[in-house]
Chain A
Amino acid sequence: MEKTVVSIKELVKRYGDLIALDHFSLDIYEGEVFGLLGPNGSGKTTTINCLLSLLAFDKGDIEIFGKKMTPVSYDIKKEIGVIMQNVAVFDELTVYENIDYFCGLYITDKNKRSQYVEEAIKFVGLEDFRKFYPKKLSGGLLRRLNIACGIAHKPKLIILDEPTVAVDPQSRNRILEGIQELNRNGATVIYTSHYMEEVEQICTRIAIMDKGKKVAEGTKDELKRMIKNTETITIEILELPDRIKAEISSLPHIYDAQYAEGRLTVSCSGGKHNLIRVLDVLQKNELSFGRVYTELPTLNDVFLEITGKALRDKEE
């Protein structure tokens, strides 16, 4: 049986009239890389802050490693590594000193700490920047330092709240590889991000949040099966009369056909020969076309279908 590392039950958090978390429940198991997805204001960071006992909540229970989490659960805190959304390092301490400071809050043995700090520096690839001050580091290097400060003490549970915001692709790739390596080394990871491809790449299980509620949960494949779309066909075509578009829309397993800017986009739900059937219609009507391609649904499609396409920042 899988061992539960984090258990959140019926969590409710209110800011005045606004309900930030609405009876939110979640179980995370040992060895998982768990992705927490959601649009802006959906409650991801609030969940993390409640989980860490930084934020008071109105109702619910939180257990970590089978014990109730409170602000004074120092034995639990010892096993947790936190990488916050905002970089949290001392500007006047060097890279080495910053990592040593935070590692020292968890590890009192100096020799062990020194070894851990060196390993963390290597892990994030900051070997050449040991004596640099944070303000001399680029955005990507700074994020890596932020991560090193959070994981140097080799925690069993690592919580990363959007750690790759404003990071270049190279650094992002390095960070993602690092997270997978930490997981391979035995750490359970909770990962929140806006970047669907990141979550798709590293997470073994995902929960999607919206308006403080969990709206979907499962593996990538399970989530993809939850949505209507199974295939999207795109065809470059110079002209498409409305009559033919309507004919395509009426084909079996096709639930939507849109034509815009010389491109026909056909959304399919189930069925096996959708592309052939669409091309048959075009050929029958002697319409020439350019490139043709088909895509399977991505996590982005899942996310947009479940949470809706309206702009959330605008809504808020």
Chain B
Amino acid sequence: MFLHILKYELKNGLRTKDLIIWLILFPIGLGICFKVAFGGIYDKTEKFSTIPVAVVEESDNAAFRQVLDNITSADDPFLKVTYADRAAAEKLLDEGEVEGIIFSGDKLSLTVKEKGLPETMLKSFVEQYTVKEKIVTDAISTSPEKAQEVITALTENTASSCKEIPLTQGNPDVYIQYFYNLIAMVAMFGCNTGMHITIQNQANLSALGARNNCSPAHKSVSILAGLAGSFIMETFCMILCVSFLAFVLKVDFGERLWLVYPAAIMGGMLGVSFGFFVGSLTRVGEKAKVALMTAVSMLMCFCSGLMLANMKAIIEDKLPWFNRINPAAVISDSFYCLNIDEGYERFISKLLTMAAITAVFVFLGFISSRRKKYASI
């Protein structure tokens, strides 16, 4: 009986146009849009690269010049220095040719036009040098033969303090968050398949439900077969979605792509169980339920940052508990942990959270659906 129902559950599900559109075509389309929109932004705007800077030498500062020469002659210099007089340097800054002007005199000073990552790094560089300059000048005055050695050490210290240090082997692109949320959204759309299980098994919700309730098939078997069918379909859709993003759109999920799959599948199960739970609760009609579920899942995705990347941070600030229970946020967090954290502790904890929420939803859904007779049909 279980296999018979499961077989037709799968046949029916895989032929349902709405599911194909929302679980397969829509994420593919949105994934392409994201790729087109955000694909090159990080490389162009936020990825750390050589910072052009103008240096105006107001007085002789051999040590600083030596440090700059050492930095610019490195294999992967973080500064590209242009020596100029004040007027020329200001012109370069106005035209956007340089990110800032360092005035080298008795003291170092910095002029920038905007606020941003390059400007922050220039500021940090100037501050680092100023702090360590005295040590260098003292060393040169007491032991001139060690001047080169000290300058080299200063160069390395100052430059390294301003360089980007990767936290993990993951992808540091902040726009990857949109793709995490996209996967979370597909997972949440699984709620529609979950809701159909209830509709097909409750006599007060549909004619099909009434007919199924008249049959000798045990309700628990019908529901379990329905859940199994929905889990299988959702798993298929999640694998398809992640594979499309990773291999067709070449979205970089970091070194641990293989772990994105179980996280996505677990998220999909959470989505299905959420739909199953909500579907079993209220007595509104099928169309109203579909609309309600879509609205709720979109709201959850919105709160997890699908439409606005820093929304999750805003909610973390105002309603941190909501991020812990918002299924979409938990799903996207698991991908985030996978990409950012070196270890697996937080990732496993997120997976367990998803499994626990899934189990709770399935249990509550069963409790709500177990009603054998209805007050009205």
Interface centre among B5, B203, B373, B375 (most CB of A within 10 A): B373
Cβ–Cβ < 8 Å partners of A78 in chain B:
216
Do the beta carbons of A54 and B214 come within 8 Å of each other?
yes
Given contacts A53-B373, A56-B374, contact A105 B215 (CB under 8 A): yes
Do the beta carbons of B1 and A82 come within 8 Å of each other?
no
A11 CB–B CB distance under 8 Å: no
Q: Which chain B residue lies CB-closest to A50?
A: B373
The size class of the interface chain A forms with chain B is 20 to 34
Q: In whole angstroms, how far apart are the Cα atoms of A97 and B208 in the complex?
A: 15
A102 CB–B CB distance under 8 Å: yes
Do the beta carbons of B373 and A90 come within 8 Å of each other?
no
Give the residue of A54, A88, A108 whose beta carbon is less than 8 angstroms from that of B374: A54
Do the beta carbons of B373 and A92 come within 8 Å of each other?
no
B44 CB–A CB distance under 8 Å: no
Do the beta carbons of A93 and B1 come within 8 Å of each other?
no
Do the beta carbons of A93 and B207 come within 8 Å of each other?
no
Cβ–Cβ < 8 Å partners of A108 in chain B:
1, 4
Give how many B residues have a beta carbon under 8 Å from the other chain's beta carbons.
28
Q: How far is the CB of A201 from chain B (nearest CB, A)?
A: 26
Q: How far is the CB of A134 from chain B (nearest CB, A)?
A: 12
A71 CB–B CB distance under 8 Å: yes
Do the beta carbons of A56 and B373 come within 8 Å of each other?
yes
Do the beta carbons of B11 and A97 come within 8 Å of each other?
yes
Do the beta carbons of A90 and B207 come within 8 Å of each other?
no
Cβ–Cβ < 8 Å partners of A259 in chain B:
none
Do the beta carbons of B206 and A92 come within 8 Å of each other?
no
Render A66-96 as a binary contact track against B, CB cut-off 8 A, 1 for contact: 0000111011011010101011111011000
Do the beta carbons of B376 and A15 come within 8 Å of each other?
yes
Q: In whole angstroms, how far apart are the Cα atoms of A70 and B213 in the complex?
A: 11
A-B pairs with lowest CB-CB distance, top 5 = A71-B372, A88-B207, A92-B15, A86-B207, A105-B215
A residues within 8 Å of B by Cβ? 15, 49, 52-56, 70-72, 74-75, 77-78, 80, 82, 84, 86-90, 92-93, 97, 101-102, 104-106, 108, 149-150
| Contact sample, A vs B, 25 pairs, CB 8 Å cutoff | A15-B376, A52-B213, A54-B213, A54-B377, A55-B373, A55-B375, A56-B373, A56-B375, A70-B372, A71-B372, A77-B216, A84-B207, A86-B207, A88-B208, A90-B8, A90-B12, A93-B8, A101-B5, A102-B215, A105-B1, A105-B5, A105-B216, A105-B217, A106-B215, A149-B211
Query: Given contacts A97-B8, A104-B5, could you give 9 more A-B pairs where the C-beta distance is less than 8 Å?
Result: A52-B213, A88-B211, A90-B12, A90-B208, A92-B13, A101-B4, A102-B211, A105-B216, A108-B4
